[in-house]
Amino acid sequence: MDNLLTGSLIEWLGDHRQWLGLAIFLIALLESLAVAGLVIPGVFLLLAVTAMAGGGGMSFVAALSWAFCGAVLGDMLSFALGRFFHQDIRRLGLFRRHPQWIARGEIFFRRYGLFGIFIGRFVGPIRPIIPMIAGMLDMPTVRFVAINLLSALAWAPVYVTPGFLAGRAVKWPVPEFFWQHALTLLGLLAGLLLAVVLILRAQQRWSNILAGLLCLVALVALAMHSERLVILDQSLAVWLSMADVNAGLLDAMAALASPVYPAALFSLLALSLAMSRGWRSLALTLVASLMCGLLVLAFDATWQATTLAASLLLIAIAALLKNRPHAFWTRAAFMSGVAPPAILLGTISLAATHMSLMGLVNAFLLAAASLLLSLWLVERAGPVECPAFPANNLLLWLPLATAVGVLSGLHYF
């Protein structure tokens, strides 16, 4: 079965490229569909087909649209399946053999509610199960449709962009030593991420400060060897100039790469925490923002990197405060949900503000160091807890609501 899907199907699509759009739609649908999404290698297929679409001349917006529509319909069908069968779905043969699939999805949905549907779309093992669980538990249809559309809007760029760009990049010039430098950078960043996770996993009083200092060391090392990134920066600039990016779409999304977005998000986050009397959480937000500003000055970061670092920091704080009561790996899995908006903001910054690759890496390291060091400082006076209502209910929606407001031009009023 896997050989048919990953071999014969890809070969057939290579000879019939006019069906690539429909193929992206169907793969996205099956990837999101209950049961089917658990057994079909959807991520690999989507990567392969979007690469063919990128190399075959399909526009990026068209590929995104096909994937978005398939993801929305797949979740809607899963929701309808749960709504129709309710608890009787547990009697189906596949779920009788694997009851843990429904149990795991139900626990996740009950714990995170509406936001569980959004973040669940990016968590592999439960991705096709959560919409069905929402239907089983009689979630209001209008509410599900709204979060389904929003999550698909975030999901489509994250899953389509890598393959699409890989397909386009086949035709782009690659200078000498490019891959050597690129793989070295990726290897070092992966090693840093692993080291930070292992340090935080120890859950000692020194874990946050040691992980933060490690990020600072990485920033210093990056600044000392910035000349090694020149070849990567030049290649990235050439590729972006050759990329077929819709100018209107890029101009519309550029507002998220401006200082307006982090400024608005900071104001709303601080206000909601103050209203909830979450003073320690508010202190973390203020100290982390101040820490980020000081590090920006210390490392002479560009305005693009400063803006991106501030946005990433505030989104990470919102996610961190929401999942404080849980065990380490649950918190780690939840924090991984920051990756999709981080990737999206990074991509927008690269394309819309012409930020360098070094600026992009700097922004991620600045945000990580600021959060970890500030968390260590604030928790010296006591643990940072999840704030009470209304901040508890608003935390995970503030970054998205702020983005919608900025894109719609509300900040002009």
Backbone angles phi, psi at 390, to 5 degrees: -90, -10
Q: In the predicted model, what is the mean pLDDT of the chain?
A: 82
Interval 240-271: pLDDT, tens? 666 555 566 667 678 888 899 999 999 999 99
Give 112-166 as a DSSP string: HHHHHHHHHTT-GGGTTTHHHHHHHTT--HHHHHHHHHHHHHHHHHHHHHHHHHH
Q: Which two tokens stand for residue 135?
A: 């239907």
Domain ranges within the chain, ordered by starting residue: 2-164, 177-412
Confidence of residue 2 (pLDDT cuts 50, 70, 90): very low
For the residues 68-74, what does the mean pLDDT come to? Answer: 92
pLDDT at 236 over 90: no
CB 92 within 8 A of CB 119: no
What is the pLDDT, as a whole number, of residue 350? 82
CA distances from 176 to 173, 188, 223 (A): 10, 20, 23
What is the pLDDT, as a whole number, of residue 151? 85
Place of tokens 């698909």: 152
Separation of alpha carbons 2 and 41, rounded Å: 7
Q: At what angle do helices 357-379 and 303-322 cross, to 10 degrees?
A: 40
What is the pLDDT, as a whole number, of residue 1? 41
Separation of alpha carbons 101 and 104, rounded Å: 5
Other residues' Cβ atoms within 10 Å of the Cβ of residue 90: 13
Q: What is residue 388's DSSP assignment?
A: -
In 3D space, the residue among 146, 224, 155, 229 whose CA is nearest the CA of residue 186 turns out to be 229
Other residues' Cβ atoms within 10 Å of the Cβ of residue 117: 25
pLDDT at 338 over 60: yes
What percent of the chain lies above the pLDDT cut of 90?
25
What is the pLDDT, as a whole number, of residue 241? 67
Using a 10 angstrom Cβ sphere, with 0-12 exposed, 13-18 middle and 19 or more buried, the burial of residue 125 is: middle
Q: Which two tokens stand for residue 159?
A: 């899953």
In 3D space, the residue among 115, 125, 36, 40 whose CA is nearest the CA of residue 75 turns out to be 36
CA distances from 368 to 24, 158, 208, 303, 380 (A): 35, 21, 10, 18, 19
Return all residues near 181 (Cβ < 8 A) that are at least 6 apart: 228, 229, 231, 232
- 273 or 344, higher pLDDT: 273
User: Residue 287, SS3?
Assistant: helix
What percent of the chain lies above the pLDDT cut of 70?
85
What is the pLDDT, as a whole number, of residue 288? 95
CB 67 within 8 A of CB 46: yes
Q: Which two tokens stand for residue 93?
A: 């043969």
Angle at the Cα of 273 (from 153 to 279), degrees rounded to 5? 145
pLDDT at 17 over 70: no
What is the pLDDT, as a whole number, of residue 5? 47
Interval 45-63: pLDDT, tens? 888 888 888 777 788 888 8
In 3D space, the residue among 118, 154, 133 whose CA is nearest the CA of residue 396 turns out to be 118
For the residues 231-248, what does the mean pLDDT come to? Answer: 67
